[in-house]
Amino acid sequence: MTKHTQRRAARAEVLHGDVFFENGRLPLCVFRMPFLDWGRREHSHDFYEIMVVTAGMALHHIDGRDETMAMGDVYILPPGMRHGYEVESGGGVQVVNVLFQAEMIEERPRDLWTIEGFQRLFGDAGRQRGQPHLKLPAHELAHVTHLIEQIEAEQEARVPGWEFFCETKFRELIVYLSRRHVNIQGRIDRNVMFLAGVVSYLEQHLAEPFDFQKLVEIGKTSPSALRRAFQEAFGCPPMTYLQKLRVRKAMQTLSDPVKSVTEVAFEVGFQDSGYFARVFKNEVGVAPREFRRRL
């Protein structure tokens, strides 16, 4: 552990479950962070946290390591795990957290432990191999956020039966994540954080024509360095990443029955509805109209 890490650990705040969970009620809640342009100081908690990155990018300090986190990253943080994140100037990040006590996965687990992904995400053996997490494509991220939104809505409405409903959706979420687990490790150098401003610009101007030179200017780097950084951080070039952002926005917009598929395509930046349909199906697995029908 470096001296810098030791200093961070010394001032790490500890969050306690009694602040988030009502006594005698279901020890589960959704905690949504606003779009942060500065980050979150390092802390730990005496409960579990599922942290889902829904937009933006930040440098994640986690258990003495530094990693880049971006849209689609999902971290399972056990009790006592220190973490925090910082955002490069001009960038921002948005996360939604599902907080729960260990009893939610320890009581009546049935065959959860037969899922290898569950063992790696929630078991001690998985943590000994490093902090595992998931990197979800757009359609899987949309499904996960939808499950979380259902839990959140029930907890706010508190219609009779809400606790049973929330526990059922939580178990569905746990199984879904466990079945899609991928153990992602490796250190990403801090200089990749210059992408934060570029990503933030793309998210705020996703409907505008793609301007690669503008991204180079924002990143204050060379074209080749920008392409390489995107490939290392996201596994795709900048234009493909922009299309992923547009598809994710379209998935949200398609829930509005008033707008036609063509109107949605133009609204998120596609100038050809046929091309939009092909890109959407390639990313999500179904055509826009079929996706809307399933909502």
Domain that holds residue 69: 3-179
Q: Is the residue at 185 inside a domain?
A: no
In this prediction, residue 127 carries a pLDDT of: 55
Same domain, 124 and 13: yes
In this prediction, residue 150 carries a pLDDT of: 94
* Percentage with pLDDT > 90 across the chain: 49
- Domain closes at, from 156, 179, 202: 179
Q: Is the residue at 16 inside a domain?
A: yes
Same domain, 85 and 175: yes
- Domain closes at, from 179, 201, 219: 179
**Interhelix angle for 223-234 vs 212-219, to 10°?**
90
Same domain, 10 and 123: yes
With contact defined as beta carbons under 8 Å apart, do 78 and 51 qualify? no
Written as six digits, the tokens of 32 are 């949504």
In this prediction, residue 182 carries a pLDDT of: 66
Same domain, 42 and 148: yes
Same domain, 147 and 41: yes
Q: What is the pTM of this model?
A: 0.73
Q: What is the pLDDT of residues 228-275, one digit of tens each?
A: 888 877 778 999 999 999 998 898 899 888 999 999 999 999 999 999
Residues of the chain with pLDDT under 70: 1-12, 89-90, 124-131, 182-193
Same domain, 111 and 232: no
250-255 long-range Cβ contacts below 8 angstroms, 24+ apart: 250/276, 250/280, 250/288, 251/138, 251/139, 251/142, 251/284, 251/291, 252/142, 254/288, 254/291, 254/292, 254/295, 255/292, 255/295
Query: Which residues in 201-216 are b (16+ Cβ under 10 Å) and which e?
Result: bbbeebeeeeeeeebb
Which residues, other chains included, contact 243 with Cβ-Cβ below 8 Å and sequence gap of 6+?
279, 283
- Alpha carbons 60 and 288: distance in angstroms, whole number: 34
- Strands of 115-154 (E only): list them: 133-135
* CATH number (domain holding residue 262): 1.10.10.60
